[in-house]
Amino acid sequence: MAIIEGVADAQMLDARGALVDLLREAAQLEHCLLDAYLYTACSLKSTPQELEFAGGSSNRRRAVQFERLRAWKQSILDVAHEEMLHLHYVECMLRALGEAPSFALPP
């Protein structure tokens, strides 16, 4: 009976190790996605003055363009917020397993 328990314990350790590895990989993925969404949102123009001239002439559609950009930016920031929550959940699972948080980026 002790041999069977030893095998079961070894399998549990292997499964736990695999789970920790997959959670660390998930944390890297969520971190990369979060960075990409935040970079994209911050790259969009943020003020009507940035849209004042288009092609060297006055831009009469800047108010409409500004409102569209503002809506896009908000949508992208909402997605980034979801990625932050995913990263938080992954880190909580790692901590529940007694592991250190993992905020490393992929090599």
Asked whether residue 4 carries a pLDDT value surpassing 60, the answer given is no
Beta bridge partners of 54: 57
Q: What distance in Å separates the CA atoms of residue 56 and residue 65, rounded to the nearest whole number?
A: 17
Q: What distance in Å separates the CA atoms of residue 42 and residue 105, rounded to the nearest whole number?
A: 20
pLDDT tens, 26-82?
Answer: 999 999 999 999 999 999 998 888 888 877 788 888 888 899 999 999 999 999 999
- The model carries a pTM of 0.79
